[in-house]
Chain A
Amino acid sequence: MVKGRTGQRVRLYVRGTILGYKRSKSNQYETTSLVQIEGVNTKEDVAWYAGKRMAYIYKAKTKSSETRYRCIWGKVTRPHGNSGVVRAKFKSNLPPDSMGRKVRVFMYPSSI
């Protein structure tokens, strides 16, 4: 994706799945999305990820800045429930067709 990125591909992000929007039974709040991060299964584990940046990457038909890939940046805000699901806010709300798709959870801003 990045021009000139030859050689080793390194993954410095954790994969996550977008589950949908924050919602109750019949109301949804699109400003906050829910994300399931791989390997994170409890509320305590989420603490490490709080504040970490995330990127939702998608393809579009037209090229903008030489590439067809586009990105919406966001960050992990807080845990959602007890089982490791995470709430996330993005710069602009995620589109509904992002549900079920992947998001990249980066390891920065790092505090280790």
Chain B
Amino acid sequence: MAPSSKLSQGIKKASRSHAYHRRGLWAIKAKHGGAFPKAEKPAAVAEPKYYPADDVKPRKASTRKPKPTKLRSSISPGTVLIVLAGRFMGKRVVFLKQLKSGLLLVTGPFKINGVPIRRVNQTYVIATSTKVDISGVNVEKFDDKYFAREKKKKATKTEGELFDTEKEATKDLPQFKKDDQKAVDAELIKAIDAVPDLKTYLGARFSLRDGDKPHEMVF
């Protein structure tokens, strides 16, 4: 049987000095210049003045990221869309690309039906099967920031001018936006002219007539 370290309960076999030698604390002491290394106590935290009344778990910030809006399979760059609501309802319009916000970038073209480069929501649009060749158009520069509203500068007004607020509301399109419109449309109109009747098609508005059943229509 292996030698046990206990002779009886509470009585160790090795003497105090023998055990000290065996544990090797003298070697550690020698290594550290005579004294046993003391671990540094962490600085005592000052007692907080207030304790919360209830144990409340801190709320974790949500890590949910919304998914990008799925583009309907019937919509691809160059598709002619019918706008269903808003100022341009009924207009047939050419789809350019989907923006990061999920909205669709769309243009009339302006010369054909008066719809400028605009954003439109997918749910307010019917996709037709007609497609326009859009390969010549560069739409890289358009993003959601392009369409952001300009912040109004609040100029301090004199008492007389305070009542002239109505006169400030003119919305002149900046020239660069007009130029962008022309640049995009120039290529598009060439592609549209190549197809017979497409120009008049885009210029005409869609409307329901008597006897029309949208649920049976193929767009």
Q: How far is the CB of A98 from chain B (nearest CB, A)?
A: 22
Residues 109 to 124 of chain B near chain A (Cβ within 8 Å): 122-124
Q: How far is the CB of A87 from chain B (nearest CB, A)?
A: 17
In the bound complex, do residue A107 and residue B123 qualify as a contact, i.e. CB atoms below 8 Å apart?
Answer: no
In the bound complex, do residue A39 and residue B89 qualify as a contact, i.e. CB atoms below 8 Å apart?
Answer: no
Interface SS, B side: loop
Count of chain B residues with a beta carbon within 8 Å of a chain A beta carbon? 24
In the bound complex, do residue B214 and residue A106 qualify as a contact, i.e. CB atoms below 8 Å apart?
Answer: no
Contact with A along B187-219 (1 / 0, CB 8 A): 000000000000000000111110111111001
In the bound complex, do residue A48 and residue B215 qualify as a contact, i.e. CB atoms below 8 Å apart?
Answer: yes
Interface SS, A side: loop
Count of chain A residues with a beta carbon within 8 Å of a chain B beta carbon? 20
Q: Which residues in B have some Cβ–Cβ distance to A below 8 Å? A: 72, 74, 84-85, 89-90, 122-127, 205-209, 211-216, 219
16 additional A-B residue pairs with CB within 8 Å, beyond A39-B215, A40-B213: A8-B205, A9-B207, A10-B207, A11-B207, A12-B85, A12-B90, A13-B208, A14-B208, A45-B213, A45-B215, A49-B215, A106-B84, A107-B84, A108-B84, A108-B85, A112-B219
